[in-house]
Structure 1
Amino acid sequence: MTHIVVFGSVRRELVTRAERAPDLGQAAPGREFHAVPGGSGGRQAVAAARAGAAVSLAGAVGADAYGELLRAALVREGVDVDALRTVPGPSGTATTVDASGSPTVVAVPGADAALTVAAPRDVALIGSGDALLLSSGPPLSGVTGAALAAREHGVRTVLAPSPTGPLPDELLAATDLLVVDEDGAAALTGRVEPYRSVRALLELVPEAVVTLGAAGCLWAARGGQPMVVPAPEATAVDTTGARDAFAGALAVALCEGRPTARALEWASAASALSLGRPGGAASLPYRSEIDAACPAVST
């Protein structure tokens, strides 16, 4: 079985139905705690596990009741949490404010702020994996350290930052595959047109995917021609988990040896399924669902 290691943020996921983001320190009507972990690391771990991989998560939760709930929820999803550390203080929080069907995520890092380095235990875990899946949730110094550990051990690194801001040169140099949306590609390259931006990304990383929403995704690798993979039709209900569903499923499919075009089709099907459901991690699809939605690529 494919082994995916995730180094990333784990946060309690709160959903608030409101016209605007509430004060996170106050109770709010309609706020729900979702038992499935939030945070980009938590969602990526659940996405890869539901897509059929053995998943280990290196991250941090707080020494509070939510920390124990998050740990237990990951275990229920089949995620190995031996490298999930508990640190003093509160667990991180990701509050999704759903105003008129347009979700906005308000994040409070909490325990994630402790992930400033990849600890020796994290490095050993990364070396045992088939791929390392990263986001930009924890401090970038820790993300960079994890990517460098993967490079040292010859482990493929997939970086799917959310949101995409400036990224350290050292991190990009240690990344094998970068997954960003159109805005992220433009922010990193200064070029708005997707074909121009994906070519510019290849100056930073050897392989890149630019997601295009309903238009699908655009893949390119050094020495090859860019390729567009269409997206399945989907009615957008909640976009929160779609990017992590895509990244998790893509990492699994590539590690299973599927051709890139097929892997991208399968990942796009996973993203579309997540897009059509409410919630972040709660919306992430299982392998059987992805296979049913993408029978040409099912295994």
Structure 2
Amino acid sequence: MIVVGGTYREICDSERWDRVFGSGGRAACAASRWREGVRLVSYAHETWIEDARATFSSMGVDCDLTAIQDEVAFVYAHSMATPVLLDGMPSACRGLVVDGDEVVRFGMLECEARVRARRAVHDPQGVGATVPFAANGSAADSLALVLNEGEARNLSGKESPDEAAAALLAVADAVVVKGGTAGALVARRGGTPVRVPPYRSERVMKIGSGDVFTGVFSHLWMREGADPVEAADLASRAVSVYVETRGIPPGNRRELSLRVSLPKDRRPGRIYVAAPFFTTAQLWLVEQLVRAIGTLGATPFSPFHEVGMGGMSSSIATEDLAGLESCDAVLAVMDGRDPGTLFEVGHARANGIPVVMLAENVMEGDLTMFAGTGCEVVGDVATAAYKAVWASYLAPFPGGAA
């Protein structure tokens, strides 16, 4: 199996993460854990090309890397943040041409890869417009598309994942539309669409999770002949291992079978963001949490955005608490022992509303009352957002989307 895609540096200080992977490198490593014989075709920065080669080779990947002068490095404020390119867009490189029996094609920054294959998987992730597989002359006898919901809308012109997947079956044999906390929708010709569940993890390090999904799905569908639904389900399980451990998951069905699924028939509810917002840094974090919650399909309620800071104290408090009581879960930020946040957490627990608390730099002794009253305390933004969204539909609480 050949994987053609980017080899990029990824930097996220909040996760203590500074590694060279990229979509192509990570997917190739994920596929290689299942069976040897995976080849990576990619460009890599000249100063760390040998490090990349050594890393991927240690995981059983045969590397076909070409050195380039530009360093492509993505910088993340946290693992759910929109990354920025450290040195801007790289110079255009000669397009890669790959012929093979089984080929995975990723979108790349340096060029487009033209693919000819018996079976191919296309994951068009990249910057800018979503490019159809065949637009550059790529061709495959059998094609699967692995897309997020935005890419599916762009390629199909349809709003809902179901309609988008159905429309894209005109050009592909299988379509997987990833939906975050909603799992993934799998459509294939001649079959009924099936939703594969997401799987629980104790923490979430989001960088590269989609690459692992595509790498595992591609191996199972193309090399083992698995049904797309089975391949997507095992890929979803593998992702839960990756985001929890930050390591390439094992290619082992038995081990993956132990992962615990989350409900796929419930929709995320409303999340109350309890946090101070009196400094630029505090307000930035609130904005990040609101965005993350919305990205995961839930509805954020932020007192700063919904109620504001003007008016009488009594009316602000009344509106804030009414908003809190209408929510299914609370995501609280422990920052400087803000009295308003502490009151809101206590009010939520007194009303049986689950609380996930983000405590990035807090002494353990300051968390005693929160942990002791059933709050779930976590240390990073992505885990906090995911666990708050999960809490909003895992049990019937007031305000109820469950």
TM-score by length of 1: 0.74
The residue identity in structure 1 corresponding to 2:74 is A
Q: Work out whether residues 94 and 105 of structure 1, in 8 Å CA contact, stay in contact via their aligned partners in 2.
A: yes
Work out the CA distance in 2 between the residues paired with 1:172 and 1:219: 26
Corresponding position: 1:33 with 2:14 = no
The residue identity in structure 1 corresponding to 2:77 is V
Q: Secondary structure at the match of 1:208?
A: strand
Deviations, residues 138-189 of structure 1 (Å, cap 9, x unaligned): 455x32x1x2x22xxx2x1101122473314435973500000112211222
Work out the CA distance in 2 between the residues paired with 1:170 and 1:96: 31
257 and 207 in structure 1: CA distance in 2 versus 1, 3 angstrom threshold: closer
Map of 1:21 onto structure 2:
none
5 Å matches for 1:272-283?
A: 272-278=240-246, 283=247
The residue identity in structure 2 corresponding to 1:116 is G
Corresponding position: 1:49 with 2:49 = no
Which of 174, 178, 186 is the matching residue for 2:139? 174
The residue identity in structure 1 corresponding to 2:176 is V
Map of 2:224 onto structure 1:
256
Q: Secondary structure at the match of 2:217?
A: helix
CA displacement at 1:208 relative to structure 2: 0.7
The residue identity in structure 1 corresponding to 2:139 is A
Map of 1:70 onto structure 2:
52
Q: Secondary structure at the match of 1:218?
A: strand
CA displacement at 1:220 relative to structure 2: 1.3
Work out the CA distance in 2 between the residues paired with 1:198 and 1:172: 22
Map of 1:294 onto structure 2:
257
Which of 114, 127, 133 is the matching residue for 2:104? 133
CA displacement at 1:285 relative to structure 2: 1.1
CA displacement at 1:111 relative to structure 2: 6.9
Map of 2:159 onto structure 1:
192
CA displacement at 1:134 relative to structure 2: 1.3
Runs of 4+ in 1 over 4 A off after TM superposition: 108-112
33 and 166 in structure 1: CA distance in 2 versus 1, 3 angstrom threshold: closer
CA displacement at 1:236 relative to structure 2: 5.3
Deviations, residues 44-77 of structure 1 (Å, cap 9, x unaligned): 111111233421011112322x222112211222
CA displacement at 1:228 relative to structure 2: 1.7
Work out the CA distance in 2 between the residues paired with 1:161 and 1:277: 26
Work out the CA distance in 1 between the residues paired with 2:208 and 2:214: 10
234 and 190 in structure 1: CA distance in 2 versus 1, 3 angstrom threshold: farther
33 and 232 in structure 1: CA distance in 2 versus 1, 3 angstrom threshold: closer
Q: Secondary structure at the match of 1:97?
A: coil
What is the total number of aligned residue pairs between the two structures?
253
Work out the CA distance in 1 between the residues paired with 2:159 and 2:152: 8
Work out the CA distance in 2 between the residues paired with 1:42 and 1:94: 14
CA displacement at 1:135 relative to structure 2: 1.0
Deviations, residues 10-45 of structure 1 (Å, cap 9, x unaligned): 11222223xxxxxxxxxxxx97532xx321111111
Work out the CA distance in 1 between the residues paired with 2:205 and 2:94: 28
Q: Secondary structure at the match of 1:94?
A: strand
Corresponding position: 1:237 with 2:208 = no
CA displacement at 1:209 relative to structure 2: 0.7
Which of 218, 234, 240 is the matching residue for 2:185? 218
Work out the CA distance in 2 between the residues paired with 1:132 and 1:109: 29
Map of 1:95 onto structure 2:
75
Deviations, residues 176-220 of structure 1 (Å, cap 9, x unaligned): 000001122112223221111111222332321111222221111
The residue identity in structure 2 corresponding to 1:117 is L
CA displacement at 1:110 relative to structure 2: 7.2
Map of 1:9 onto structure 2:
6
Root mean square deviation, CA, Å:
2.7
Q: Which runs of 5+ in 1 are unaligned?
A: 18-29
Q: Secondary structure at the match of 2:52?
A: helix
TM-score by length of 2: 0.57
Work out the CA distance in 2 between the residues paired with 1:216 and 1:90: 36
32 and 194 in structure 1: CA distance in 2 versus 1, 3 angstrom threshold: closer
The residue identity in structure 1 corresponding to 2:251 is R
Work out the CA distance in 2 between the residues paired with 1:10 and 1:216: 27
71 and 253 in structure 1: CA distance in 2 versus 1, 3 angstrom threshold: same
Map of 2:93 onto structure 1:
114
Q: Which runs of 5+ in 2 are unaligned?
A: 260-402
